[in-house]
Structure 1
């Protein structure tokens, strides 16, 4: 029984190793467009950090700030769209993140989810968190589970693109404030992937959650992991 379980887990870990081996390289011109957009996005992040986003800030104030930021991000969004047309996986995620942040909630799934799904299918881990939050149908699909399994095989391809922002990193103890994003390293997003895999796979849940805790302490599952061992 233990041997069968070990082999099952081993297959989960090893199968993705060649899954993305044939993925086309990121287009150099697309990467240039993304890097240009990134400069503008970083400037916008500095503006966001300059806002007074205290707990007493009203929803109306936040909405006004959001609209102002949306306008200031227009040149970056244009560049991201051009990079997306050239199949850039990270640009897809950052464009989806823009829509997740500034569009009305009811419009987000139809516009952001296709970008997130394709980015994740290309092996970019942060897209999984957007899918968790906004794309319930895909989140419950076998395709989503397969995409998560393939993430480690693409790690070297995306190492230079971190850190990355996210709406919410559940393995992180800190809560995001106002319009500010949480930023994570590659290992932080891999921990989130292990958390998601544990959530959807009861048989191997403890194995996945332990992997998440080993990577960055993963606060959201560490206590549950400890309690299940007593």
Structure 2
């Protein structure tokens, strides 16, 4: 007697990793709150991207213009912050990431460790890739934990489930040669973040370093992986 479709599903769900890989459970209220926050986040980003870096050659007019844009961007982040807080409390992984990112960009290091790092860790644990990069930047102690390495390994399977939420911003994408300017961040698509995950795995796994770097190159022509492979060879 052959197994029907529901029997296969039941057997698959006896293995937690398969269940996680095939479904994405997001609270509908959390999703609604996150989507309500998105327009504020996009408008704030438009303002902050236009802020220029303050250098010795920046004139007073440009300095004042950038200050005004930064203040306007900050004002737009306030309603977004409240909505993201509510969505994050409902365990929305993307809202947790974006809330953590606001903390990381605007807070001192002790607040980042207290507020942002737990949000990044909770988001990553649900298979959302972007917080892995922020953890590697702001929450170094977490990268030594087995949970972090296991989460990186699971990203390849969970990534397609989050495709509708991309592109997403990050402080910096190592695989892309462009440098963020002023208060701007870099935005990456699904392939960009998958390449970054392979790069992170290569950085931490010496025995499979070349294998992971090659995957990063194959995914989005990761320039930093190319440089490191050339050095290793």
TM class, shorter-chain normalised?
Answer: 0.7 to 0.9
The 5 A counterparts of 1:133-152 are 133-152=137-156
| Per-residue Cα deviation, 1:175-202 (whole angstroms, up to 9, x for no partner) | 1111101000011011111001011111
Distance in 2 (CA, whole Å) between partners of 1:121 and 1:194 is 17
Distance in 2 (CA, whole Å) between partners of 1:142 and 1:92 is 21
The 5 A counterparts of 1:150-161 are 150-161=154-165
Alignment of 1:125 onto 2:159: no
Counterpart residue number, 1:6:
none
Alignment of 1:189 onto 2:178: no
The 5 A counterparts of 1:53-202 are 53=53, 55-56=55-56, 69-202=73-206
Distance in 2 (CA, whole Å) between partners of 1:227 and 1:51 is 37
SS for the counterpart of 2:203 is: helix
Contact in 1 for aligned 2:49/2:185 (Cα 8 Å): no
Name structure 2 gaps, 5 residues minimum: 1-14
Contact in 2 for aligned 1:108/1:134 (Cα 8 Å): yes
> Cα distance, 1:152 vs. partner?
1.4
> Cα distance, 1:45 vs. partner?
1.1
Contact in 2 for aligned 1:16/1:152 (Cα 8 Å): no
> Cα distance, 1:16 vs. partner?
9.5
> Cα distance, 1:226 vs. partner?
2.9
Distance in 1 (CA, whole Å) between partners of 2:224 and 2:216 is 10
Counterpart residue number, 1:48:
48
SS for the counterpart of 2:187 is: strand
SS for the counterpart of 1:179 is: coil
Distance in 2 (CA, whole Å) between partners of 1:216 and 1:16 is 30
| Per-residue Cα deviation, 1:161-182 (whole angstroms, up to 9, x for no partner) | 0000000101110111111010
Aligned length: 214
If the length of structure 1 is used for normalisation, what is the TM-score?
A: 0.85
> Cα distance, 1:24 vs. partner?
5.4
Name structure 1 gaps, 5 residues minimum: 1-14
Change over 3 Å in CA distance of 1:109–1:64 after alignment to 2: farther
Counterpart residue number, 1:38:
38
Higher RCO (CA-CA < 8 Å; seq separation 6+): 1
